[in-house]
């Protein structure tokens, strides 16, 4: 599967608050529809820009900000807000093997990471393992088409393709959401009858 990894040497770009102008965290949060999660896992958290926002939206939640890049995780440890130091947990892990228990997440989030995945199906299998019964996954990624930034067109997928992959690993009730100008936004739920 074609993929395109972000250059970790450019990690400061991930902290640009202008990203919120076209990738509004409130829109993503509302699409999830999980008003009071106790545990949030973000796979591909980068420098934790969105993980910090979700921690603000859910002041009672532990937030695991997972990334494959040591430089990203180190940056989060060194720069996370003091107010979140007990709840925001930077976590170094491969895309397909996150060191958290099965069913840990009320909400699992993936923002601008689908196009980076070497093996999307395996990553979504890990996502459903991490999500509790009845829990929610939300995926936002660059949609095909001309945009002022983002990855090359060859690694972009439609919302329908994301829905299809989520269904293959067992997520149900997938929905596509409006509100992001350049991105597909999809939510789905882990059903009660799930072996993972």
* pLDDT value at residue 47: 92
Q: What are phi and psi of 49, to 5 degrees?
A: -55, -45
Which domain does 107 fall in, by range? Answer: 32-44+94-189
The series of mean pLDDT values per 10 residues for the chain, 196 residues long, is 62 76 96 96 95 96 96 91 91 95 98 94 97 98 92 94 97 97 97 71
- The answer to whether residue 84 is domain-embedded is no
Q: Residue 160's domain is classified under what CATH number?
A: 3.40.50.150
- The answer to whether residue 22 is domain-embedded is no
**Which residue in this structure is represented by tokens 């770009």?**
13
- The answer to whether residue 148 is domain-embedded is yes
- The answer to whether residue 81 is domain-embedded is no
- The answer to whether residue 117 is domain-embedded is yes
- The answer to whether residue 23 is domain-embedded is no
For residue 104, give every residue at least 6 positions away whose Cβ sits within 8 Å of its Cβ, in sequence order, or none.
Answer: 39, 41, 64, 130, 132
Domain count for the chain, please give it: 1
Strand pairing report for 39-43 and 172-176: unpaired
Q: What are phi and psi of 71, to 5 degrees?
A: -65, -35
- The answer to whether residue 114 is domain-embedded is yes
* pLDDT value at residue 170: 97
Best CA proximity match to 102, nearest among 73, 70, 135 = 135
- The answer to whether residue 64 is domain-embedded is no
Q: Specify the length of the chain in residues.
A: 196
DSSP state of 160: H
């Amino acid at each position: 599967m074609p993929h395109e990894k972000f250059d970790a040497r450019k990690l400061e770009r991930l902290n640009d608050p202008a990203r919120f102008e076209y990738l509004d965290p409130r829109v993503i949060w509302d699409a999830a529809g999980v008003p009071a999660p106790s545990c949030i896992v973000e796979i591909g958290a980068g420098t934790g820009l969105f993980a910090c926002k979700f921690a603000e939206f859910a002041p009672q939640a532990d937030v695991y900000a997972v990334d494959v890049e040591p430089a990203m995780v180190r940056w989060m440890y060194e720069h996370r807000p003091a107010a979140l130091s007990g709840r925001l947990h930077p976590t170094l892990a491969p895309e397909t093997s996150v060191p958290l228990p099965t069913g840990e997440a009320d909400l699992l989030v993936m923002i601008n990471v689908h196009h980076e995945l070497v093996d999307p199906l395996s990553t979504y299998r890990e996502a459903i393992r991490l999500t509790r019964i009845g829990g929610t996954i939300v995926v936002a990624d660059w949609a095909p088409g001309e945009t002022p930034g983002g990855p090359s067109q060859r690694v972009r997928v439609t919302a329908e393709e994301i829905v299809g992959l989520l269904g293959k690993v067992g997520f149900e009730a997938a929905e596509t959401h409006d509100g992001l100008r350049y991105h597909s936004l999809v939510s789905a739920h882990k059903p009660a009858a799930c072996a993972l």
